[in-house]
A and B are shown apart, each in its own frame.
Chain A
Amino acid sequence: MLEIKNLHVKLEDEDKQILKGVDLKVEAGKVHAIMGPNGSGKSTLSYVLSGRDGYEVTEGSAELEGEDILELEPEERAAAGMFLAFQYPVEIPGVGNMTFLRTAVNAQRKARGEDELSASDFLKEVRAKAKTLKIDADMLKRPVNVGFSGGEKKRNEILQMAMLEPKLCILDETDSGLDVDAMKLVAEGVNALRDEGRGFLVITHYQRLLDHIKPDVVHILAGGRIVKTGGPELALEVENNGYAGILAEEA
């Protein structure tokens, strides 16, 4: 599904290397978790994969289902099946959430040569999916993320993911700032999307999210590199001992 090889990334405007040779392979149907200290480059990895400006790939590659995605525009990556649930979802005053969702869904369908969803089919689908995420009609009408609480923003990300049905879902600290109930909702939303054809990259600091979204593989990213890969037990180790032990052992 996703194959990253020896990925080196620096900031475009500064002489600062952030990713220093990341190798990662996410298979369809699997959930990979990435943990790691603050500032280790987790968000940078997710942004580079989704095509945000400001980063320069100096070495290495990233392929989605065999296609080199690093040369694609963000919207082309989205149409190819890439989705990032933002660590900090962006507020867009003046654009209604519903308009935004419909525009996005139809833009992707168009890019893939499919017919647009009819207004009524779209509505039906949004309403059903919003309901399971406890997103009310008012939130759908309001401008994108404007005045949403932290938890509402994260649920809104999952709603977008559910509507867009991507192939590879990256979740960047989707659990941060969520209370236990909200986290359960989000996890259920993610689990409902788990599918043989879909891969997940879940960035988190906490075991508690991984109690709900059970990972197949856990990676530790530190200093711009994946320093350790293991099974779910690796997340427990982080939970119990922090990163210090692992980092010392790998150094």
Chain B
Amino acid sequence: MALPEVKQSATEARLSALTLPESGCLKAARQAALSRVQTMGLPSRRDEYWKYTKPDTLVQAEAPKAAVFHADETPMFNAFDRLNIVFVDGVFDAEASDDLSLEGVTIDRIEDICCKDIHWAKDLYGVLEARGQTPVERPLAALNTAFASDGVAIRVTGKVSKPVNFTYVHSDENSDAILHHVIRVESGAEVTILENGPAASRFNKCMEIDIADGGKLHLVRAQGRDHERRAATHLFARLGTESVFKSFTLTVNGVLTRNEAVIELTGDDAVAHIAGACVGDGDFHHDDTVFITHDAVNCESRQVFKKVLRNGATGVFQGKILVKEGAQKTDGYQISQSLLLDDDSQFLAKPELEIYADDVACSHGSTSGAIDEEGLFYLRSRGVPHAEATDLMTLAFLAEAVDEIEDAEIAADIVSRLEGWLARRR
């Protein structure tokens, strides 16, 4: 079927600005992804899935300029013992990165894999992304698979003693980065992945995560403090029997963010939690789009998204739980809430449940509201000044999402950043 003309020309314009990288064993995956993009076309405002978020600047050939923000604080997660992998404007920085060897894990750069004929990542690269194209199309992810200039393939074979950390530095105000990571957690293996930074003026990131039976992956990311940066990220995760996937995302600032997550529970007794806390002030548009498929028995999924919005900021949540036939004893929970600190801000939510099994417990809720005046007065009547009381109530609002982070030190780091953001706005 032919694409609408506007979509066709926008897609062609974007594609003509890109060249397929050297591909080696990933060549077939890249070419298949390219033809997916050509068939689907890149997102446009008319698309139902992009009803609340304008994709124009994510699609256009040139990345819009974004000033580089110089923070006066220690970068997140810096205090932790970790293996650090640094990308500057989407380009691997060997100098700044640690040696990529660590017990229980092998790490290869996509750029290196691209000149090899055989590599395990071939069976994962683009595979989960392609699966994630139905029932809803995600053309920016296919674009990523085709054109990603770098990224890493991480294979986890044991219980890794320290987190693998990605630091994404933004240094050029015209940068346009496409990174693609694939992670395979083998049976019974365990790893924590951290990500921090805006990465580029425009960042298209795709992460494919395959967790074998009994494997565990914790992912905590922070998307940087740059006000003008744009990001479209995709997370594809497939979970085997008794495996666990937990993810938390902190978004502070950023003119446009679209974080998509596509999670498939394919083995019995698997657990997937995905949470996010975002705080935005003014020119800020933040979209969490989540699709969780239960395709096995007795699995648990939890989505917890909290947004604090002020000065005309916009929050979007599109979240779906699909329970397939036979996925009995599914426990699905979804909550999306926004705290509007003024009348100009808005929150648009589209929570969905689609259930084809009869013995399931699924709940979803979405709320949007101002700070609880009763609570605020209660705090003030005990002597807590107005600004401090407001911050306390705001952090309390975010707590349910932050509580999804299992590691207390990481959670404390996240909370301190949120406190900083609030304190700067007093």
Contact = CB atoms under 8 A, between A and B. Distances in A.
Interface in A173-207: none
Interface stretch (B288-296, B322-330, B394-402): B394-402
Interface string A93-125: 111000110011101100100000000000000
Interface stretch (B17-25, B66-74, B82-90, B373-381): B373-381
A93 B396 contact: yes
Given A79-B383, A103-B384, A107-B388, A74 B377 contact: yes
Contacts of B385: 75, 107, 111
B392 A95 contact: yes
Interface string A121-150: 000000000000000000000011000000
B382 interface: yes
Contact of B381 (A50, A93, A94): A50
A75 B377 contact: no
Interface in B41-69: none
A53 B373 contact: yes
Contacts of A51: 377, 380-381
A90 B379 CA distance: 9
B162 interface: no
A94 B393 CA distance: 8
Contacts of A89: 378
Given A52-B377, A53-B373, A53-B377, A75 B383 contact: yes
A53 B378 CA distance: 12
Interface residues on B, range: 20 to 34
B386 interface: yes
Contact of B383 (A52, A90, A93, A108): A108
A143 B379 CA distance: 13
Given A73-B386, A75-B386, A90-B374, A84 B396 contact: no
A104 B382 contact: yes
A33 interface: no
A50 B378 CA distance: 10
Nearest to B389: A75
A91 B396 CA distance: 12
B100 to A, nearest CB: 40
A73 B386 CA distance: 9
A78 B381 contact: yes
Say what secondary structure dominates the interface of chain B: helix
With a 10 A CB-CB cut-off, give which of A75, A86, A160 has the most chain B CB atoms. A75
A62 interface: no
B383 A94 contact: no
Contacts of B382: 78, 100, 104, 107-108, 160, 164
A160 B384 CA distance: 13
Contacts of B392: 95, 99-100, 103
Contact of A104 (B377, B384, B393): B384
With a 10 A CB-CB cut-off, give which of B374, B381, B382, B393 has the most chain A CB atoms. B382
Nearest to A89: B378
Contacts of A50: 381
Interface in A46-104: 50-53, 73-75, 77-79, 83-84, 86, 89-95, 99-100, 103-104
B347 to A, nearest CB: 18
Contact of B375 (A77, A83, A90, A160): A90
A104 B399 contact: no
A22 B386 CA distance: 29
B395 A78 contact: no
A159 B360 CA distance: 44
A104 B375 contact: no
B386 A94 contact: no
Contacts of B398: 94
Contacts of A74: 377, 380-381
Contact of A94 (B379, B388, B389, B396): B396
With a 10 A CB-CB cut-off, give which of B380, B383, B385, B396 has the most chain A CB atoms. B383
A110 to B, nearest CB: 9
Contacts of B374: 90
Contacts of B380: 51, 73-75, 78
With a 10 A CB-CB cut-off, give which of B373, B378, B388, B389 has the most chain A CB atoms. B378
Interface of A: 50-53, 73-75, 77-79, 83-84, 86, 89-95, 99-100, 103-105, 107-108, 111, 143-144, 160, 164
Given A90-B378, A95-B379, A111-B383, 9 more contacts: A51-B381, A74-B377, A86-B378, A89-B378, A92-B396, A100-B392, A111-B385, A164-B382, A164-B383
Interface of B: 372-375, 377-386, 388-389, 392-393, 395-400
Among all A-B residue pairs, the 7 with the closest Cβ atoms: A94-B396, A78-B383, A94-B399, A108-B383, A104-B382, A74-B380, A90-B378
6 contacts: A74-B380, A75-B383, A78-B382, A93-B396, A94-B398, A143-B396
